[in-house]
């Protein structure tokens, strides 16, 4: 594989801007336009109650929390999507409110397209098996390029050691297995 990514996204409405656990979203800046604190080794913003209240008011459907059965189903779909695309899925963890994947790809495709494929095919499977929802996931997600083997190993360990996973899968060749 030419490039590896750590992809992360949340279920719809489950981790909003202003959340006390921390969040990555635009926040007002005292010196001008809003800023987003999402650089590695930089703490995220956290606990801004007015932002959370505002975000709750903007929700268009109910908050999604995945069940173990749904998590198994999306993990199966992630593996199927990666295989079909010729990607290498090294690790995956599905929690009730968010997902982490470590994936290797040939060439240098746009990370947005990786995220879109995983999310859209998982949504289709969830809709088919568990009933149609307008939204399963929040828009976007985190796409961190893993520059070397050390970073890939660290990302696999990070995914493997998630707290409260519904499902965790490590695949052959994953450093950290």
pLDDT at 100: 97
pLDDT at 173: 59
Ranges of each domain in the chain: 3-12+63-170, 27-58
Higher per-residue pLDDT: 53 or 173: 53
pLDDT at 170: 93
Predicted confidence band of residue 27 (pLDDT cuts 50, 70, 90): confident
Question: Tens digit of pLDDT for each residue in 69-92?
Answer: 999 999 999 999 999 999 999 999
Model-wide pTM > 0.85: yes
- Computed over every residue of the chain, the mean pLDDT equals 90
For 8, other C-beta atoms within 10 Å of its C-beta total 18
Q: What is 3-12+63-170's CATH number, 3.20.20.140, 3.90.550.10, 3.30.1490.20, 3.30.70.1290?
A: 3.30.70.1290
Q: Which sign does the torsion angle of CA 103, 64, 25, 117 carry? A: positive
- Closest C-alpha among 78, 56, 54, 58 to residue 66: 78
pLDDT at 172: 60
The Cα 5–Cα 145 span in angstroms is 5
Question: Tens digit of pLDDT for each residue in 96-135?
Answer: 999 999 999 999 899 999 999 999 999 999 999 999 999 9
């Amino acid at each position: 594989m030419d490039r590896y990514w750590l992809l992360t996204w949340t279920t719809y409405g489950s981790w909003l801007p202003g959340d006390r656990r921390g969040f990555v979203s635009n926040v007002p800046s005292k010196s001008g336009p809003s800023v987003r604190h999402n650089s590695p080794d930089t703490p995220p913003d956290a606990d801004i109650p007015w932002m959370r209240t505002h975000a709750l008011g903007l929700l268009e459907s109910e908050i999604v929390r995945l069940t173990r059965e749904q998590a198994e189903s999306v993990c199966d779909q992630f593996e199927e999507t990666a295989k079909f695309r010729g990607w290498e899925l090294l690790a995956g963890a599905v929690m009730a409110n968010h997902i982490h994947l470590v994936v290797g790809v040939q060439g240098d495709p746009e990370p947005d397209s990786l995220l879109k494929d995983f999310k859209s095919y998982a949504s289709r499977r969830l809709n088919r098996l568990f009933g149609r929802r307008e939204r399963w996931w929040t828009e976007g997600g985190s796409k961190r390029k893993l520059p070397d083997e050390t970073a890939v190993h660290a990302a696999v360990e990070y995914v493997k050691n998630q707290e409260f996973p519904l499902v965790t899968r490590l695949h052959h060749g994953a450093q950290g297995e």
